[in-house]
Structure 1
């Protein structure tokens, strides 16, 4: 392994001079610093990060903890943050908590022990007190989800408004039996999105708790207990709003598996706007999320605080606005069996061909 002594021998100077040059010490001339850098590159010298940390020097690493790297939402965040940080000489290191608070604590502990410059995290539902205590020892910021126990710095989205946009769109099309499929309520984002759904439906006096389904997307949500369970109701929904990216994947897969005609049988509003969502059928009507912009803003603000060496970080909250992208997966309610007797959208729906067919398709799962 090439060391500082090898560079010193090549330049015929002391190892301390090389060390100071690599540390950009003001006592070393610009010419010497350049010569040291040139020789270091020629012979393949790499700084010993562990030794630097033992001397109390902070690394150029910034930790990012997310719940699930399979979620396109979080991979987009990681990419945007990485590009933002690398422009200032910082490198992003990624950890996955799987929404497990013990795993989250383990990752935080490892990043603190590595003396990272700072940490950005999407916290789990109930962070452990030890996690909050460790985070107090270094610059950190919460992204997307917010827990007051972890600090007063947060970048996120208007989750209430996101689901409000989806429901309002369907109400304008005449739908009243609107189902909700989303993340658990113990997550801050899950609770906010469910609130947005309920608040928007309250205006139409058509809220039915039986149409709400909250949970993780990779167990009941991705089986017949998800959309299939809702469609087996005596009065199935005419539309569904989805409050998670992976929940959207699960619903789309169920629609395909059950042969549900979208939007003829069921209008669907998704969450997130991945490229593939525009390719499905006539295109998925969905909530577009300002993911890259939010992550970049978070990264730039965090970099500014690191340069200012602010201790502790000043309180800061930033809320990004979602938008609705209308494509072909939603349409007006035209079936009188959906609208009920006399065309009243709030009247009980008749038991007719649409409801019977939907229950038959759902029962196949």
Structure 2
């Protein structure tokens, strides 16, 4: 392995001069820095990150902590952040928590011990006190979810409108028995979406009948079981709204396999605008959420903050609105169902 001493011998200068040049030290001239970089590249020198961290030098790594990379929300987000940070000289490293606070704490410990430049986190419902303490010592920002204990820097979507809009659309089509399959309210996103469903259903007045099925945010099996139970009721819903991408996929799979007529038997409004949703059956009515644009904006803002090296940043929140897209999976309620 090529070392700083090897480069110094080649250039006939001291190892300390080479080390300072590689660290972009102001005491070293621009011409010497250029010579050192050229020789280092020719010799195949790779910086010893561990040694840099022992000297207290922050790395160029930025940690992204998400609940479940199988969720297209988070994989799309990770891709956009990776490209954004790469252009600014940072490298993204990914950690998965499965929405478990102990796993989340372990991941945060590993990232902070590696002296990362910063952390972008989709927090669990109840972060551990130690997680809060460690993040308080590290530049960080929350994405999609916001927990008050983790500060006021946050980029997210309008979760309330993401469910309010499709539910209101169904109410305006004349539907009164409307079901909702979504996440438990213990997460701020889940709570806002449930409220959006209830407020939109209230537009139907006393005739509105909401059928809520709330469960684990990433469980497809829960969504499939919930749909089966709803359709087996004596008076099943005439319309359905889903509150997450994974729940939407599970519902569409179950509807397809069970042969339910959409929208003849059941009008369906989904969450997120995956490519597959456009091609499913008559085309899925859903809410589009610009996750990639949101992640890029978050990344650029966070890079600016890290470069400022400000100990106490002012509170900052950015909320991206969703867009309702009406396709063939919803239609006015039939006379019999009404």
TM-score band (shorter)? over 0.9
Deviations 1:203-245 (A, max 9, x none): 2124435x1011124264244x221110111110011000100
1:128 Cα offset (Å): 1.1
Written as runs of structure 1 = structure 2, the 5 A alignment for 1:1-365 is: 1-205=1-205, 206-208=207-209, 211-216=211-216, 217-218=218-219, 220-223=221-224, 225-334=225-334, 336-339=335-338
DSSP 3-state at the match of 2:94: strand
Equivalent-residue separation in structure 2 for 1:27 and 1:189 (angstroms): 50
Deviations 1:126-175 (A, max 9, x none): 11111111111111111111110111111111111111110111112111
Instruction: Please tell me whether the aligned partners of residues 198 and 207 of structure 1 are also in contact (alpha carbons under 8 angstroms).
Output: no
In structure 2, stretches of 5+ residues that fail to align are: none
What TM-score comes out, normalization by structure 2 length? Answer: 0.97
Instruction: Please tell me whether the aligned partners of residues 61 and 92 of structure 2 are also in contact (alpha carbons under 8 angstroms).
Output: yes
Aligned Cα root-mean-square deviation (Å): 1.2
DSSP 3-state at the match of 1:134: helix
DSSP 3-state at the match of 2:204: coil
Aligned residue pairs total 336
What TM-score comes out, normalization by structure 1 length? Answer: 0.90
DSSP 3-state at the match of 2:260: coil
1:123 Cα offset (Å): 0.5
Equivalent-residue separation in structure 1 for 2:108 and 2:22 (angstroms): 30
Equivalent-residue separation in structure 2 for 1:169 and 1:249 (angstroms): 21
**Computing the radius of gyration over CA atoms, which structure comes out larger, 1 or 2?**
1
DSSP 3-state at the match of 1:268: strand
In structure 1, stretches of 5+ residues that fail to align are: 340-365
1:64 Cα offset (Å): 0.6
1:116 Cα offset (Å): 0.4
